[in-house]
Amino acid sequence: MTHLVPPHVRHQDSYLAATDEFLASGEQRDGDGDWVQEPEDGYAGFAFNRDGLRDRGEFARFVAQRRRACDEDAPRRRGWTPVTFLWMVDGDEYVGSLAIRHRLTERLLEEGGHIGYSVRPTARRHGHATRALAQALVLAHGVVDGPRVLLTCLEENAGSRAVIEANGGEYEDSRGGVRRYWLPTRPG
């Protein structure tokens, strides 16, 4: 059964295996955040890479950065919003990532939305994303900047469109090949 959990070092091996799957597929991974952010105006930035994340200490630093990103006072780039990073797990196996962005920026309003997610290629078509999004709608209640969230997906991404619609997504419009949906958050 799929569960959303905060990033944790115990998932290092399956997280890295999933990373290799994404790299081999050439697909963009959503819901996982940047691995590199350049320093700017008092913001130190950070840099992670696949080889470095094999080291237990470096992976722990990566997990700590992901867990801290939801704090209002956490260091971040100017104009970026707090984000709650969560990992989809099945049993104790990492199967995907999900991010709840607390507020919409101008860019997120057009593309990205409040919630982004991705499921590793070998774990697709098992309902992980549908179950994770349902859980995220409960977690987003009271965290995001309103009673509903925006989700987006590419026009050609039939799988993501089905996940959003299965969770009650109401289609608003398409902009530049990106479909935009609104979903109500759900009290826990």
Q: Tell me: the pLDDT tens digits for 68-116?
A: 999 999 999 988 999 999 999 999 999 999 999 999 999 999 889 999 9
Predicted pLDDT of residue 41: 86
What 3-state DSSP class applies to 172?
strand
Distances (CA, A) of 17 to 13, 50, 60: 6, 10, 17
Predicted pLDDT of residue 42: 86
What 3-state DSSP class applies to 95?
strand
Is residue 171 within 8 A of residue 137, CB to CB? The reply is no
**Structure tokens given for 150:** 């925006």
Tens of pLDDT, residues 154-171: 999 999 999 999 999 999
